[in-house]
Structure 1
Amino acid sequence: MKEWAAWFRRRPDREHEITLNRAVISLAILIFTLFFMPRGETAFAARLIAVLYLVSATLLLAHLLWRPGISTVRRIVAMAVDLVLLSFGLAIGQGSVAILYPFYYWIILGNGFRYGEAYLYSATVAGTLGFLAVILSSPYWQSQPLLSGGLLGGIVILPLYAATLIRSLSRAKEAAEQANRAKSAFLTSVSHELRTPLNAIMGSTDLLVDTTLRRDQRDMVDTIRVASSALLSQINDLLDLSSIESGRLRLTPVTFDPLELLAGVRDVGAVQARAKDIAFHLFATARTPSLLTADERRMREVLINLVGNAIKFTETGSVTLSVDYVEGKGGPSLLFEVEDTGIGMTDEEQQVIFKRFTQANATILNRFGGTGLGLAIVRELVELQRGEIEVSSRLGTGSLFRVRIPVRKATEAEAPVGSLLSETKVILLDPSDVYGGVVPPVIQRDSGIAVLAGTVEQAVTQIVLPAPDEIRHRVVLLVEMEDGWPEQADPAQFVSHLKTAAPTGIFGLSRRSNGLPAAAVRHIVPCIVGEERFGEDLMHAMRLVRRATEAASGSHSTIVRREKGLRILLADDNRVNQKVISRILEAGGHHVKVVGDGEAALDAMEAGGVDFVLMDLNMPGMDGVESTKLFRMMSLGRPHLPIVGLTADATKAASDRAVGAGMDACLTKPVNGPALLDKIDLLFAEHGDGAALEENRRPVADLKLVSETEVPSARAGEGDQHVDTAMLKNLETLGGPAFVAAVISDFLTDGSALLLELREVVAAGDVAGYAEKAHALQSGAGNIGVLRVAESCRNWRPQSSQELVKTGPGVVERIEQEFETARSILLRQHARRPLLISDRDQGA
């Protein structure tokens, strides 16, 4: 029933109200005509009309369920059915059914208030004609002209008066909708303005994480990350609320792995729990499938919100996230439970926590902060998925949130789990020897090792002190739990021992593994393996541990430098964004060119030398959308250049605008460093073109920025881009100024000779010779920190003599230009003693 109520609430109008009322009333009328209407000549006809009305009401309800959208035709048909059958009934039933006259007002006013004045006037005209026909055709109503005339006048006058009320209501509704639109626009604008500085904070924090920090500095950086993530979460709450209110939030079902979903939520929750020194437990039943279909993103938002809320209100103890797969009358669903040992709530507080901008009580805001939106959005998201949520809590003890979300079994078959037991040692803690004859054969069949233990001490010894041939085996501990936790194994002692033993996984073992066990059991084991499906259940349990481990290991991702960097054009008018994003890209091994508006971006893309473009959507003058449109038109027939939009506007409209202009994707600020680099890798692999790479890497004079809005840090000195001064300082530390001067002299002399030789092998079309000379020059330049020369030598390798003869002269000319630039920088910065750069045999 709750699911249907939520479904009706999501409809765009209130037609379902009058449709449901019609079904109930038609049934009541039929009952009246069958059992309470006096027998007579007209009884049969009245009952026939009542049956016809019930059938019509049922068909209209069925059509509404089939086509739940707005239907003008259905409204008109329903109004006609109501008025025509009511008029026929009054005409045939005479005075015995006069009690049904007020239904004229129900029909006329109901249509008017729900659909507007046009429907009110239409229903008034139809109702007046219908009742007039009743008067003219019925002796009963003709015999009472004053009553008939008064009732006929009432059908005209009352709706006309109601029309003034409807106009006032419509104006008030329009004003409210306009205010709501203004609020939504305000929320979108504010979120955009907040995301821009937040982008700088989070991006800079990602960069700081990859530097060498003292412990207290790392603690401060972690604090910034947590605070900025919390702020981003609150901004997203506002956007979600705006989307829900405007009806723009839509479900996107995908095939997903529930265990991966849980592992990701666990990873987020575990970080927050560690910060408060509380335990975080995860439990999944073994019958939970590997593949299901639902809106994973919305489900993840619900769980992260509930888990974050539980941790927020828990000072000591633990938070437990559990999941079970349930087959019910309404189809399969996932049952989630989030239980905490926090402050709890009274019965009165439980009634208000799902209201927007509402806290359980007045002290919550001061003690814990928050917007009062989280649980309201959770309920909206759950109901959007046709699910249900309930809460039970005791003040001072804790709370339990239970969420049930419908899912579908995935159409594609689950990938084989495969055996994880071939290098696994399974220790069975079974004091009563219940499963001694069941577990070992299954383990040994899959080339695993099974060991029986009667006490906790024996089990811990097997974990901590493996045999020499078992050192490389993963260790799994199974605990017999047929009647709950074994009496011979004290839980406190058990957990204490395991802190030092640290097996790969600890699972319960019972004859049946269905359903969620007691909370105390879930605090110790993440899954219970059943005897009936022992092998399959154990595989799923180990997969749960593996998913959680993989998620945890990837949670603190750092920026990894790519071996083959791309030439990326960054178009953004905000100097802070320029600095942060370009530093992230450079840290990832990419080469960055920065411009500050769409026109400069268009010129840079057209000039070439670009492999990938990051384009801000909103820039002064020509924005990123217009620039992309023009470039796509100008580059028709040419290799595809990947362009990705950047915007602080997290709405779907902004993303659609970017993609519609020809961008390959749209990313939302603030950007996460590792995630941005991974996204670039993914999008370049998907949208990049090998031919485009060669085309866009054609020789250019240099990588000078084409706008005066370049990153300030990139302009620290002209040598920074051509010569690595830090490397030269290291060389000076190693051997002193004379040593550096000698090295520079050797490089410049050798480099001049190699450039001449490069000219010769290019003219001769000698591909192997070019590779040898270019590699030698690259090696020398790299060792001394002459970056541009080394980069140019590395970036191009001819595949044929024809390509070398055709393109080689331009490449060599560019290398010579960069070499001469480096020469002038080196001579100017190290002119304390003369450097001989002509003939090596003359000495230095």
Structure 2
Amino acid sequence: MTEPTGLGMSKVARILMVEDDEDDYILTSDSLEQLDSYQFDIHWVTNPKVAVEKLSQEEFDICLLDFQLGAQSGLDVLRQAIKLGCMTPIIMLTGQDDDNLDKLAQDAGAVDYINKEDISTGRFARAIRYALARNEVASERLERLKAETQNRSKDRFLAHLSHELRTPLTSILGYTELLLQGEKAKESRSELNIILSNGKHLLSLLNDVLDLSKIAADKLELNPSEINLDSFIADVFYLLQINAQDKGLSLVITAPQALPERIRADSTRLRQILINLSYNAIKFTDHGQVAIKLWTEWVEQKELLFFEVADTGIGIPAERLASIFKPFEQVEDIVTRKEGGAGLGLAICTELARRMGGELSVESELGKGSRFRFAIEPGDISDVPRSELHFVKADTNQDNEHYDPLQGRVLVVDDAPDIRQLVQKICDGFGLQVVTAENGLQAVQMCNESLSLDTPFTLVLMDIHMPVLGGRQAIAQIREAGFTAPVIALTAAALKGVKRSLVDIGFSDVLHKPINKKALYQCMSMHLAAQESGEQIDEVEPHILLVEDDVDAAEVSKMLLESLGAKVTLAFTGAECLAVLQSSLPVCKILLDLHLPDTDGLSLAAQIRTISPELEIVVVSGAQIEASQLSALNISRSLLKPLNLSTLQSLID
């Protein structure tokens, strides 16, 4: 509510003064004017009923409320206002010193109680400043909570959107690729390639929206791997060549020097940048050519790999060059509206290039064309052989991978019949025996029954979002029943931390939709081989479970603990804490906040004791806890906030 006036340090504060004595009103107003840190917008009312209406309907920074308003007590006004949800700090003013009245006022919800004789003293000034400061803090916290709620709502919406769109795309892309790999669809190969291409385009649009959200939330992950540069460039060239030919354009890829045969980078993200820039170049060029150039160059003692995409298209006005890298700013908005798009591509490419060790820049002249350039860190290429580009392209439409037969009995769990059938067909092709279930409840029953069979399930593939019983709930019941075979989660969620959270609750591994056949084979073969040999895959180290509802406090405590070498899992509610304890995550210690949104820490500690009687619990609080309370729950110790490195080091020791 308070806000700077613009020139000085003083702020404007809106005050409701409820006072039936004009002399007292004038005296109080004069005292307020002496506070040079604020300018006061005073609203004066004398009627208790009007005062209640204003407090319930309008926003004020402070209310100064007379204790005696004619025949009515100011306490009545105070109680009615609080009952109606008034959040304004109310200071009670009275003409007499009375400790009992002071207690009554504060019990009713007043933030302070001041004798009118003190209005011209520092006591009154301090009370006003304190109330205003408290109100500002409360307002800032409320705004932060609103922003956090909006972000959580956006994340939930995007997660739902991702799931709802990726599920049908799994079927479209998966079945199209299966048909392209078979002999039945030779006559329809051209049409199937069009379906596959457009399906991938839909997926790319969805990814653009999700990528921007992940970038904003700092949840975008890069997955670097070794890339055969010649094959990678050939892939990109042949993919773009069709689009260029359709417009009668020449597509040229050149390298003025020998290039490293292998680099290390995120191939998906590198391809995303290169294809996005090239598609834009083709889209906005009607005559001439699109040229892609590659070279290496030393920059600040690092050898970077540079890419340049140049066209002879419409160009971009100089005054708009900077704005095209902003989200929702489209090149076509600048010159022509004949092309479509979400307007997110360049913003995403800019951020991806930055995260890959370089930056994206542009030079353009209206009517003559544009030149986009970016660089990436290619890893250590000092000893990598170098050669000219040969454009040796892998056949992307044929499954030339050789898959050694796998042995085992697999349960495929998914509520979507087409995806169930797709995964079943792929697993059949691997030589596996396959049984299917359409929800988590069926999966739990079938896993339990298989434990008594001569041929129990050797592996389970399970969707996360299903009716009747979802994957998260099903895995808890499956593990609780003693089913120890690998259970691999299939999920459309691609946000940072999803795999860790699913492994924490009992899944052996995670695969993302749309299903990639090669990735599925590699994942299944690894877990089946490990199960046969009795080896443990990706054993999870003991974790400290940090239970804290304040996101900022939780994150900073987690960072401190991790800096000391600890493994940390977060829970923000009592329910989340219990869910982690009922999972397979090896928790060695719990750091437990006393104030949680769905329970208090001591009640939660009692519930924890029923699950893990010997687990060490350390309570964190803003006040000392009675030793008798800690002893009754077998709590080892309590820590006072704020936590610091020294305190946490002693906790780990």
Name the TM-score, length of structure 2 as normaliser. 0.54
CA contact (8 A) 1:561 1:589 kept: no
Partner SS, residue 304 of structure 2: strand
Q: Is the Cα contact below 8 Å between 2:296 and 2:306 reproduced in 1?
A: yes
| Structure 2 residue 273 is matched with structure 1 residue 302 | yes
* Match of residue 435, structure 2, among 583, 593, 603: 593
Superposed displacement of residue 236, structure 1: 0.7
Which amino acid is the alignment partner of residue 410 of structure 2?
A: I
Structure with a larger share of its residues in helix: 1
Please state if 1:180 is matched with 2:20: no
Q: In structure 1, what is the equivalent of residue 398 of structure 2? A: 557
Deviations 1:639-682 (A, max 9, x none): xx4432211222233322333344343222222xxx32x22332
Aligned counterpart, 2:489: 645
Partner residue in 2 for 1:623: 470
Matching residue's letter, 2:489: G
For 2:398, the aligned partner's letter is S
Q: 1:388 to 1:692 in 2, by over 3 A?
A: closer
Counterpart of 2:311 (choices 305, 328, 340) is 340
Structure 1 349/691 Cα, relative in aligned 2: closer, same or farther at 3 Å?
A: closer
Q: How does 1:105-504 map to 2 (within 5 A)?
A: 168=139, 171-209=142-180, 210-213=182-185, 215=187, 217-251=188-222, 256-274=227-245, 276=247, 278-329=249-300, 331-362=302-333, 366-409=337-380, 414=384, 417=385
Relative to structure 1, the CA distance from residue 163 to residue 599 in structure 2 (aligned partners, 3 Å threshold; closer, same or farther) is closer
Instruction: Report Cα offsets for 1:72-103 as digits up to 9, x if no partner.
Output: xxxxxxxxxxxxxxxxxxxxxxxxxxxxxxxx
What is the rounded CA distance, in whole Å, between the counterparts of 2:279 and 2:504 in structure 1? Answer: 37
- Which has the greater radius of gyration? 1
Q: Distance in 1 between matches of 2:519 and 2:193?
A: 24
Distance between the aligned counterparts of 1:285 and 1:211, measured in 2?
43
**How many angstroms apart in 2 are the aligned matches of 1:219 and 1:264?**
18
Q: Distance in 2 between matches of 1:155 and 1:290?
A: 72
Correspondent of 2:523 among 683, 691, 708: 683
Which of 470, 476, 501 is residue 657 of structure 1 equivalent to?
501
CA distance in 1, matches of 2:514, 2:268: 19
How much has 1:568 moved relative to structure 2? Answer: 3.2
- With a CA cutoff of 8 Å and minimum separation of 6, indicate the structure with the bigger relative contact order: 1
What is the CA-CA distance between 1:406 and the residue it aligns to? Answer: 4.0
**Partner amino acid, structure 2, of 1:681:** Y
**Preserved CA contact (<8 Å) 2:177 2:397:** no
Residue type of the partner of 1:351?
A: A
One-letter amino acid of the counterpart of residue 526, structure 2: E
Q: From the superposition, tell whether residues 156 and 263 of structure 1 become closer, same or farther in structure 2 (CA, over 3 Å).
A: farther
Between the aligned partners of 1:310 and 1:381, the Cα distance in structure 2 is 19
- Distance in 2, matches of 1:364 and 1:612, equals 56
8 A Cα contact 1:344 1:394, kept in partner: yes
Q: Distance in 2 between matches of 1:297 and 1:572?
A: 27
Amino acid at match of 2:289: S
Contact 2:405–2:430 at 8 Å: present in 1 too?
no
Structure 1 residues 177 and 583: CA distance shift in structure 2, 3 A: same
Amino acid at match of 2:460: V
| 8 Å Cα contact 1:359-1:372 kept in structure 2 | yes
**Does the CA-based 8 Å contact 1:335-1:402 persist in structure 2?**
yes
Matched length? 406
**C-alpha distance 204-275 of structure 1, shift in aligned 2 (>3 A):** farther
Q: CA deviation at 1:327?
A: 1.0
The residue type paired with residue 556 of structure 1 is N
Calculate percent identity across the aligned residue pairs: 31
| 1:614 aligned residue | 461
Aligned CA distance change for structure 1 residues 554 and 193 (closer, same or farther; 3 Å)? same
Taking the aligned partners of 1:252 and 1:651, their CA distance within structure 2 comes to 13
Contact 2:231 2:394 (8 Å CA) reproduced: no
* Contact kept in structure 1, 2:227 and 2:264, CA below 8 Å: yes
Q: Secondary structure at the match of 1:569?
A: strand
SS in 2 for 1:580: helix
1:678-757 alignment runs, 5 A limit: 678-689=518-529, 692=532
What does residue 572 of structure 2 align with?
Answer: none
Q: Distance in 2 between matches of 1:211 and 1:366?
A: 43
Distance 1:288 1:657, change over 3 A: same
Distance 1:255 1:225, change over 3 A: closer
- Does residue 574 of the first structure (1) align with residue 413 of the second (2)? no
Distance 2:496 2:176 in 1: 27
Go from structure 1 to structure 2 and tell me whether the alpha carbon gap of 1:365 and 1:580 turns closer, same or farther (over 3 Å shift): farther
Structure 1 unmatched runs, 5+:
1-104, 106-153, 418-536, 695-844
1:631 deviates by 4.4
Deviation digits for residues 807-841 of structure 1 (CA, Å, limit 9, x no counterpart) = xxxxxxxxxxxxxxxxxxxxxxxxxxxxxxxxxxx
> Residue 321 of structure 1 contacts residue 338 of structure 1 at CA under 8 Å; is this kept in 2?
yes
The alignment partner of 1:689 has SS state of helix
> Could you say if the C-alpha distance between residues 394 and 647 of structure 1 is closer, same or farther in structure 2, counting changes exceeding 3 Å?
same
1:296-320 Cα shifts (integer Å, max 9, x gaps):
5543432232223323333444332
In structure 2, distance between residues paired with 1:365 and 1:183: 32
Separation in 2, partners of 1:649, 1:403: 29
Cα 1:613/1:270, change in 2 over 3 Å = farther
Alpha-carbon distance between aligned partners in 2 of 1:293 and 1:643, rounded to the nearest angstrom = 31
Letter in 1 for 2:491: T
Q: 1:354 is aligned with what amino acid?
A: F
Structure 1 residues 161 and 571, CA, compared in 2 at 3 Å: closer, same or farther? closer
**Counterpart secondary structure, 1:553:** coil
How many Å apart are 1:323 and its aligned residue?
1.8
Q: Deviations over 1:216-236 (max 9, x none)?
A: x43332222121111100111
Taking the aligned partners of 2:464 and 2:315, their CA distance within structure 1 comes to 46
Kindly indicate whether the alpha-carbon contact (under 8 Å) linking 1:390 and 1:401 is maintained by their aligned counterparts in 2.
yes
**Higher strand content, 1 or 2:** 2
Per-residue deviation, 1:161:
6.9
CA contact (8 A) 2:235 2:394 kept: no
- Specify whether residues 170 and 358 from structure 1 end up closer, same or farther in structure 2 by C-alpha distance, changes over 3 A only: farther
- Alpha-carbon separation, structure 2, partners of 1:160 and 1:690: 64
* Displacement of 1:283: 2.5
Partner Cα distance (1:255, 1:300) in 2 = 14
RMSD over aligned Cα atoms? 3.9
Q: Would the aligned equivalents of 2:237 and 2:253 in 1 still touch at CA under 8 Å?
A: yes
Inter-partner Cα distance in structure 2 for 1:664 and 1:277: 51
Secondary structure at 1:323 match in 2: strand
Aligned residue identity for 1:670: P
Deviations 1:249-290 (A, max 9, x none): 245555555445434433543454455554333233435334
Amino acid of the structure 2 residue aligned with 1:683: C
- Unaligned stretches of 5+ in structure 2? 1-36, 38-124, 535-653
